Structure 1
């Protein structure tokens, strides 16, 4: 896989992480304000997001580690995905769910950023 494709994967994953972060924060605010948020705020969106994030992260981070050899990048990504998965088992809209989701997305986004930077060496 060329470096350009790896860069595209990391940038796509960071964009997805940003969209997830917006969903988490805006969703929590909307749930607080309106008590019911519609399909966009449904808990199933987390499962879909995780189903998209997992293979994208696996390919992008695996490829990056193969290029630069920094296993910490992959470990940070695994921790982020793990937290995102953990949030599926917390009541939707609960403060803990928002915190765990945001932490997971932030860590995964940071892993992709670190991966992108390390791959440009």
Structure 2
């Protein structure tokens, strides 16, 4: 009974993680385009705190949702993929702003998003097995 109440929370966290990853990728691309094309918004879009806060949020959401799924279903792949993505995102904080940072961040958020997608698939397949008796 408790597990049925928890699954919607995990699903929401995974979906929030996917949304956050997509928003981060859009932010990276738009930042480079706007600053390069128009020379505006650099102080806002490239502010280090924006990236640090995004990494903390991504780490918390992934840690809870994907870590929870890994413990519950004993499947490491979503966790490993997401943590690899978070490592890329962390590495992006160590390079100067620009193309290198954007590439590392986009690789990172793609992997974190993939981790959430894999986690959602494992939740779905586990629920099906419970219902179908497999």
Q: TM-score range by the shorter chain?
A: over 0.9
Shift, 1:46, TM fit: 0.6
Q: Name segments (4+ residues, structure 1) moved above 6 Å.
A: none
Structure 1 counterpart of 2:34:
30
Which structure has the larger Rg over C-alpha atoms?
2
RMSD: 1.3
Q: Which structure 2 residue ranges, 5 or more long, are not aligned?
A: 126-134
The CA deviation string for residues 59-90 of structure 1, in whole angstroms up to 9 with x for no partner, is: 00111112322101101011000000110011
Normalising by structure 2, what TM-score? 0.84
Q: So what's the TM-score if we normalise by structure 1?
A: 0.92
The answer on 1:105 being equivalent to 2:109 is yes
Q: Greater relative contact order (Cα 8 A, min sep 6): structure 1 or 2?
A: 1
Which ranges of structure 1 fall in alignment gaps of 5 or more residues?
A: none
- Compare 42-51 and 104-113 and name the one that shifted more: 42-51
Number of matched pairs: 120
